Structure 1
Amino acid sequence: SLYHTCCSVLNRLSAVEGMMSYLEMDTTALNIVSSEPSTPTLTNGDPLSKLWAMARLGSPLCTIFNVLSPETPLHIDADPTHSTLNTCKKSIYHFLVGCRNQLAFTEEDVFTISDLYQDDTNGFVKVVNTISKLLLLLEERGIISAHSSHRNSDPNAPKDTRDKVILELIETERKYVQDMELLQNYMRELQSQNIVSSDCVHYLFGNLNSLVDFQRRFLFQLEEIVEKSPEEQRVGYLFTQMEDAFAVYEPYCANYFSAQYLVVQEAPKLQKLADILNPIYELPSILIKPIQRICKYPLLLGQLLKSTSKDWAYYQETEQALEAIRRVADKVNETQRQHENVQAVEELKRRVCDLEDLAIETYGHLLLQDKMIVSINESDRELHCFLFEKTLLMCKYIKESKNILTKGTTLSIKKKRRGSLQSKCTIYASRILGVHNKSTPGLWSLLVEYKEREVEQFSLRFRNEEQLKKWEATFLKIKVTHKANVPNTHLLNTAHSPIGSGGNQQQWDDLPQLPISSRTPYHNLHIVRPTTSTPRLGESHAQQHSPIDRTMPSSPGSVKVKLSYHDGIYVIVVPQEASFLELMERVERKIRLVANLKPKEMLRLKYQDEDGDHITINSDEDVQMAFESRGIHNTVNLFVS
């Protein structure tokens, strides 16, 4: 890890002539030129901060370079702590030039001045690598003794359960950082070789650089903590201090699902770097690791708390850390869920076949969505439910028609299949009166009561208790938010079967269909036929008392069409071979007369197919499909909105 690398470098530097004076400087003196990394630390003068600040002085780097006896030694300031920032950068510049020209270092072997001075471990890793390469040259030339590591003979082997938890925490953290660095190198190769566009790299990896920088700092301090005796290990304090910094996970995790789709889409191009990470199985497994890691921390801290004696001085810090990391995980999950919901709404707009009848933009943010069994009047049906801030939308999956396609019906059926969802019911969230948990052993369900003309209800059946609790909590939150007045009308009919008809035992597809637009609230689920209507031309005074004209005969080769519009039913007769334009002309002439519509108001026609679905009529083929649904009385029912 970076911690042990820095410790090793500092240890080896102590053997370099002229370096001891820099190593013995305290952190305050070393940081006159520039500040330490911003990540909270538990102690002053940790190895990373010490090495970083010392390198920024410039003179220590020149000292190491001169020990190699180059042809042109570098100038060294007598007291670098009194040097200005520009003087230090000048020394670093000459050091980098000397490494390239006199030591034949490549561009990959050296860092840049910005790598050293920016507050980012991604750049500092390059600095450490350059210094390590210089030390290796000193060892090869026999100027200093070769370094040997004794980490394998660990005197602090785990002695109890707590030690094992600490060991698991630190070892999995090291492996995790290594994986993230591998992913980072993969990203850099994609960029340097221009395998995919810069936008594609951005959407694939998000804020990976910031995430790796944070995780290195976190691991560094964790390494420093676990080297202390168990009772002095303030692991909990580290997590609580880092709680706000863990926010770096939120954008990465929110972007993950977009990234995994992009990996599949760009797999042919990504195969060019399959020797680093195979895009089929290795790349997806590493991309998901940050999500897995943030979910793992609460489990590890829970085990640590359980195995720590309550008498220890820092026990409460571990308790606070567990609460803090749970808050972090909740925030990450919430951010990820919100991002997924935004995508789900866009997917809903693409899949729903009657989008023009919905006003999704007015529903508020999507809170939850899932497939579940919805029960009304002992009739069960699987629907896809979308719970928005202001609306509950229920959609059904459209079944493919089993009818044999003919030349005249192909276009109409293709239109029906354009989307895979069809809205069945829309309920205002403000009309929800109560949500009751009706679960029994092995069966998880909620009974939802809402206000129509009377109080109605339906049940939602869930897969497990966790799903139920999530929906129950969200429903209750909505109920509190919309605790204002509840008018009688709350259902938005989308020209489909609404649920909750008071006392009506009809099945889902047999519920009454109201000929109104999806944005018009109605007061009753039953069609109410008034005793009077607007007078129409060609009707007697007696006929004006009923909106249903039952006396109009249909001539041979013609079809009797009943038009359901608002609270009335009107009749016209059209030829069996009527075109779409001809039908619309007659419908408009009839409806505009009785409804006093303005010229700019457009009418829409729908018919009910054999599945009970309402299909919009937009073409001659649609008209013929609608006419095929007429019964033995040669009558077609159309719905006007």
Structure 2
Amino acid sequence: MINPDQGRINVINEILQAEQDYVKHMKDVVEGYIRHARKRVDMFTEEKISVIFGNIEEIFKFSTQFLETLESAYCKEQPQQSELGKCFLKYSKGFEIYSDYCNNHPSGSAELKDLYRKQKYRHFFEACRLLQEMIEIPLEGFLLNPVQKICKYPLQLAELLKYTPQTHPDYVNIQQALEAMKKIAALINERKRKMESIEKLARWQHTVEDWQVSFILGKDLLERSSELIYSSEINKINSAGWSQERWFYLFDHQLVYCKKDLLKRNGFSYKGRIDTDECDIIDIEDGKDVQYNVTVKNAWKIHEVDKDKWYLLYAKTPAEKQRWIKAFQKERERVREDQENNFMPDHWKNKILNRIKASQEKQNSRTQSEIQYKQEFIRGIPSHATLPRSYSKKQSKRRGWFPFGGKQKAKS
């Protein structure tokens, strides 16, 4: 059985050694790759460098300072008395910079994969590795380091806490640091989930017809919302008392309703939106509604306060109604959590929106080019163009006189 003091010393040494190796790798990437990439303006724009490497330079600077703090807290005479928990607590807020890196990493990997298809980039990256005398690991391996590192901190602190007696002056610090790093990991995961959700919303919005009408009534969906909470087909009573089947989509901050396009499979056209930040949800009993002069079941009302506009909606079953009521409650909880934890910083969301917009413009440009090419190709064919006579004769001989019945039947 390992002596508690020795166990603690082993964990402390592992944390320090791992951090030193990590900072060295970050330094190799910054000085070995990024520095040389900036010199080759014919191959790398600043935007391309940003996509590939993210904010790794910022992480390197932060990690260097963090390592210096860890090393200054190390007690050489009595390593078991070292108080590393204080160091993690001091820098806990700073670890949030890993969120930007982790969310950018998939895009960086995709960009790097595209570049590796070209020989000159493969040679460039390999030359950088050799000049920096780095171990034989491809660049994508080094760029994965920060993603893996931020996940290891809670594990290291949990192991350190295991070998730290409650009487140790750093015990409470380690406990608090462990909780803080778990929150950082949860924050990063939540922001990654939000990013994936925003990309899904962008694709969905792109398929809805008449969406440009919504710009007159308010902001773009993605500027206010980041995830879909719930959706289903329910009925809306209009001002004349008629029932209309509509698909309702509940996002954070707004409720959008669309009409299903019967001529198109999975097609929808935009009809309107409700600001859930400025509305009240009112549960109503089955029976006749005086305001709309109709009898309804499984219904509820929405009052958009700032516009003083009312909506009467009803579901097909009591269970579906309850799902909607719970969804409205969940939407308010999500909005509150986002505000408290800053899951969606403005600079980060704008970056995603710009990337989506650029991707859509690129796709639209490619589609337009294909259409233009086809039009030009068709215009280039003479209107009097016919098949060569030799080809026509060959086809006639091949078919014979009985194209549908094959060979001529013998006379009886």
TM-score, L = length of structure 2? 0.52
Deviation, 1:475, is: 4.8
State the Cα RMSD in Å. Answer: 4.8
Looking at structure 2, the residues matched to 459 and 307 of structure 1 have their Cα atoms a distance apart, in angstroms, of 53
Query: Among 240, 245, 258, which residue is 2:94 paired with?
Result: 245
1:480/1:205 CA distance change after superposition, 3 Å = closer
The within-5 A match list for 1:466-477 is 473-477=330-334
In structure 1, the residue corresponding to 2:164 is in which secondary structure? Answer: coil
Looking at structure 2, the residues matched to 330 and 384 of structure 1 have their Cα atoms a distance apart, in angstroms, of 30
> Which residue in 1 is equivalent to 2:26?
180
Looking at structure 2, the residues matched to 304 and 470 of structure 1 have their Cα atoms a distance apart, in angstroms, of 42
Tell me the amino acid that sits aligned with residue 148 of structure 2.
Q
The within-5 A match list for 1:262-277 is 262-269=111-118, 270-275=121-126
Answer with 336-345 or 203-212: which moved more: 336-345
On the 8 A contact 2:225/2:251 being kept in 1, the answer is yes
In structure 2, the residue corresponding to 1:458 is in which secondary structure? Answer: helix
Tell me the amino acid that sits aligned with residue 325 of structure 1.
M
Tell me the amino acid that sits aligned with residue 294 of structure 1.
I
Matched, 1:365 2:205: no
Looking at structure 1, the residues matched to 49 and 280 of structure 2 have their Cα atoms a distance apart, in angstroms, of 46
Looking at structure 1, the residues matched to 174 and 251 of structure 2 have their Cα atoms a distance apart, in angstroms, of 38
Looking at structure 2, the residues matched to 389 and 327 of structure 1 have their Cα atoms a distance apart, in angstroms, of 25
Query: Among 211, 219, 223, which residue is 2:71 paired with?
Result: 223
Looking at structure 2, the residues matched to 298 and 395 of structure 1 have their Cα atoms a distance apart, in angstroms, of 48
Looking at structure 2, the residues matched to 460 and 314 of structure 1 have their Cα atoms a distance apart, in angstroms, of 49
1:186/1:356 CA distance change after superposition, 3 Å = same
On the 8 A contact 2:198/2:227 being kept in 1, the answer is no
On the 8 A contact 2:102/2:188 being kept in 1, the answer is yes
CA deviation vs aligned residue, 1:464-491 (integer Å, no higher than 9, x gap): xxxxx9998545345999xxxxxxxxxx
User: Unpaired segments of 5 or more residues in structure 1?
Assistant: 1-156, 378-382, 399-412, 435-447, 462-468, 482-641
Looking at structure 2, the residues matched to 393 and 277 of structure 1 have their Cα atoms a distance apart, in angstroms, of 54
User: Unpaired segments of 5 or more residues in structure 2?
Assistant: 131-136, 236-246, 284-297, 302-310, 339-412
TM-score, L = length of structure 1? 0.36
Looking at structure 1, the residues matched to 14 and 190 of structure 2 have their Cα atoms a distance apart, in angstroms, of 28
Deviation, 1:199, is: 2.0
Looking at structure 1, the residues matched to 5 and 116 of structure 2 have their Cα atoms a distance apart, in angstroms, of 47
1:348/1:460 CA distance change after superposition, 3 Å = farther
Looking at structure 2, the residues matched to 373 and 454 of structure 1 have their Cα atoms a distance apart, in angstroms, of 13
> Which residue in 2 is equivalent to 1:169?
15
Q: Structure 1 vs Structure 2: percent identity of aligned residues?
A: 24
Looking at structure 2, the residues matched to 285 and 373 of structure 1 have their Cα atoms a distance apart, in angstroms, of 40
> Which residue in 2 is equivalent to 1:387?
251
Looking at structure 2, the residues matched to 216 and 470 of structure 1 have their Cα atoms a distance apart, in angstroms, of 45
Deviation, 1:230, is: 4.4
Looking at structure 2, the residues matched to 476 and 267 of structure 1 have their Cα atoms a distance apart, in angstroms, of 45
Looking at structure 1, the residues matched to 58 and 336 of structure 2 have their Cα atoms a distance apart, in angstroms, of 40
CA deviation vs aligned residue, 1:145-186 (integer Å, no higher than 9, x gap): xxxxxxxxxxxx996543443344233323322332232222
Deviation, 1:217, is: 2.1
CA deviation vs aligned residue, 1:407-435 (integer Å, no higher than 9, x gap): xxxxxx9xx69xx874699774446569x
The within-5 A match list for 1:10-409 is 160-184=6-30, 185-194=32-41, 195-228=43-76, 229-269=78-118, 270-275=121-126, 282-333=138-189, 336=192, 343-352=199-208, 355-356=211-212, 361=219, 363=221, 365-369=224-228, 387-391=251-255
Bigger Cα Rg: 1
1:193/1:335 CA distance change after superposition, 3 Å = same
1:315/1:171 CA distance change after superposition, 3 Å = same
CA deviation vs aligned residue, 1:54-96 (integer Å, no higher than 9, x gap): xxxxxxxxxxxxxxxxxxxxxxxxxxxxxxxxxxxxxxxxxxx
Looking at structure 1, the residues matched to 337 and 38 of structure 2 have their Cα atoms a distance apart, in angstroms, of 50
Query: Among 435, 446, 458, which residue is 2:320 paired with?
Result: 458
Comparing both structures, which one devotes a greater share of its residues to helix? 2
Deviation, 1:321, is: 1.6
On the 8 A contact 1:162/1:308 being kept in 2, the answer is yes
> Across the two proteins, how many residue pairs are aligned to each other?
280
